[in-house]
Amino acid sequence: MYRENSSATLLQSAKPVSHLEDIKARSRLLRGTIENGLNDAVTGAISDDDNKLLKFHGSYQQDDRDLRDERRRQKLEPAYSFMIRARLPGGVVTPDQWLAFDDIARRYSTRGLRITTRQTFQWHGVVKRNLKATMQGIHNALATTIAACGDVNRQVVCSVNPHLSGQHALVWEWAKALSDHFIPRTRAYHEIWLDGERITDEPEEEPIYGNLYLPRKFKMGVAIPPLNDIDVFAQDLGLIAIIEDGQLSGFNVAVGGGMGATHGDETTYPRLASVIGFVTPQQLLTVAEAVVTTQRDFGNRSERQYARLKYTIDHRGLEWFKCEVEKRAGFELAPARTYHFDRNGDDFGWKQGEDGRWHLGLYIESGRLWDANDQRLQTGVRQIAQVHHGEFRLTCNQNLVVANVPDQERGRIDDLVTKWGLDGYKTHSAMRRNTAACVALPTCGLAMAESERYAPELLHKLEAILARYQLLNAPILLRLSGCPNGCSRPYLGEIALVGRAPGRYDLRLGADFSGQRLNVVYRHNIAEPAILQELDELLRNYANDRQADEHFGDYLLRAGILPPPGPTLTPIVWLTPATAV
């Protein structure tokens, strides 16, 4: 039996709620008619409404955009398939899980395994009749896909590599606790995918979310200074672990980060999270819940483009938000503690932890592990998983750490890394090692331009420029996104390309190297020749005029090539009254 949750009654809007709110309300806690749709053999798709609910189960319906025109000509329905995303808190994967995930990829997906910018895996190209078997395979590997997408708290990301110290391991435990705390409680997932028993006489409710879940997606991440590898200020709720005298004292709380924007619409924008205070570990879940429920009750449920937490905060004011969170938590947040980030990006090569065990950082281009063309990266990591007894850690920069390796096992892992061409980290330019590119074409329905498939070609050309100016060892954050949604967090790239149309991008410049300053548009809507020309000149000047250890983004500001950053962006963007009281 399904019971209405009281949070639904909080919705009072001048504008009608969006269609998606209506779908959620009618869904019986995310069931909709997904099961019927899966059984309909006439089409490879499911209904639009169910497709929206399916996201909460960790899957998106897509179609192969490379084939769209041809199939239309042949009067066939689009080549539908599904992308599936796992929920792997902090990106931790055991070797057994790796082998199971790899089996799933070989059996059901068309493009191998894809490490995402939020430390998890996606499988692309799973056809409808295999969707259930894929979900079951992931479940059997002791993982899940629930709430990997949808208007809920998603995968909680965490700095890598926690095994470098006992305190880091503790921080990961908290990231996992957060992830578990916000998992939806609906039994729909079990019923639909795992053939779970339907229990009809017990009330079923979502104690945190209510039956409408959140107004929009919600993201949490925990960073461990001085490394900001997760881009903590891009999270709705970013937590900065404060380790003092070798002990975890607690977390600074940052709220309202987000990247998504729409071209040409200045009422939507990327925003860095604002630090509002400090909590002890014991207070963490209470405060996180207060943040989430405040957004649940005050977020915009009429206009989805303004529904992220960043707009709720900018609309009502940061001080109001903080007071509301404190009221719900039942205590005041302590003043934020001092912290310092000195960089983003991942560590590559072998690093030893304080317990003497080793961790090997491997560069994976755009996170794609796929046996294609002349590469066998998927097989290579599979072979490592067959001999590895520690675990793997996926990073938010789409890379991979073979973690927790005893000294005597290193040689064996190194041999496999070399054999299967996973040793690129030793020779690649520093820019390549600091590049992230979103998936974009052919699977992403929102892509306006290529990203993942364009990155290798672009990097090849940029490396020729870097070599000319002896900059191959200069770490420069490069981010590519096929549209302004910002899945590679391009607004935090020292150099970023944001797709506008096939072959055309906005060139954005000037973020810092530690994820604490947004970049700005330098040239709108330009094609590759102009991109290369602009970057050639700027990189030449940087090579000649940079100060010792000065990063490219900082140089552009100091040299006056970009304007100094303005005040923190807090425009009031909604023209309509707030949607909740």
Active site amino acids: 85, 154, 217, 219, 438, 444, 483, 487
- Does residue number 439 form part of the binding site for ligand SRM (CB under 6 A)? yes
CB of 518 vs ligand SRM, minimal distance in Å:
12
Q: Which residues are CB-neighbours of 530 under 8 A, at least 6 positions away?
A: 507, 523
For residue 483, the partner it binds in ligand SF4, ligand SRM, none, with Cβ less than 5 to 8 A by kind, is ligand SF4
Please report whether residue 259 would count as binding ligand SRM according to CB under 6 A. yes
Judging by beta carbons within 10 Å of its beta carbon (0-12, 13-18, 19+), is residue 564 exposed, middle or buried? exposed
Nearest alpha-carbon partner for 485 in 244, 102, 217, 250:
217
Number of helices followed by number of strands (H, E) in the chain: 17, 20
Residue from the set 24, 45, 49, 60 that interacts with ligand SRM by CB under 6 A: 60
Q: Which is nearer to ligand SF4, 179 or 451 (CB)?
A: 451
Q: Binding of ligand SRM at residue 260 (CB under 6 A)? A: yes
Among the listed residues 439, 507, 538, 539, the single contact to ligand SF4 using CB under 6 A: 439
Among 120, 295, 379, 435, binds ligand SRM (CB under 6 A): 120
**DSSP letters of 173-241?**
HHHHHHHHHTS---SHHHHHHS------SS-B--TTT-TT--SS-B-EEEEBTTB-TT-GGGSSEEEEE
| Partner touching 482 among ligand SF4, ligand SRM, none, CB below 5 to 8 Å by kind | ligand SF4
Nearest approach in angstroms of CB 480 to ligand SF4 is: 8
From 214, 275, 438, 507, residue interacting with ligand SF4 (rule: CB under 6 A): 438
**What's the CA dihedral at 507, 510, 513, 515 to 10 degrees?**
-80
Q: Which of 13, 27, 116, 252 binds ligand SRM (CB under 6 A)?
A: 116
**Per-residue DSSP letter, 366:** G
Range 441-480, binding ligand SRM (CB under 6 A): 443-446
Torsional class of 425: left (φ above 0), alpha (ψ -120 to 50), beta (otherwise) = alpha
Plot region of 85 (φ>0 → left; ψ -120 to 50 → alpha; else → beta): beta
Minimum gap (Å) between residue 112 Cβ and ligand SF4: 17
3-state helix, strand, coil in the chain (%, to 5): 35, 20, 45
Q: Which residues contact 142 (CB under 8 A, 6 or more apart)?
A: 97
Give the nearer residue to ligand SF4 in terms of CB position, either 220 or 436.
436
Select from 207-215, 435-443, 519-527, 561-569 the region that touches ligand SRM (CB under 6 A).
435-443
Give the residue at shortest CB distance from ligand SRM. 260
Q: How near is the Cβ of 257 to ligand SRM at its closest, in Å?
A: 7
Binding of ligand SF4 by 302 (CB under 6 A) = no
Which of ligand SRM, ligand SF4, none does 378 bind, CB closer than 5 to 8 A by kind? none
CB 432 within 8 A of CB 467: no
Annotate 333-345 with DSSP letters as a single string: PBPPPP----B-S
Do 224 and 243 meet the contact criterion of CB atoms below 8 Å apart?
yes
Residues in contact with ligand SRM by the rule CB under 6 A = 60, 62, 83, 85, 116-118, 120, 122, 154-155, 217, 219, 234, 258-260, 308, 367, 438-439, 443-446, 485-489
Residues in contact with ligand SF4 by the rule CB under 6 A = 438-440, 444, 446-447, 451, 481-483, 485-487
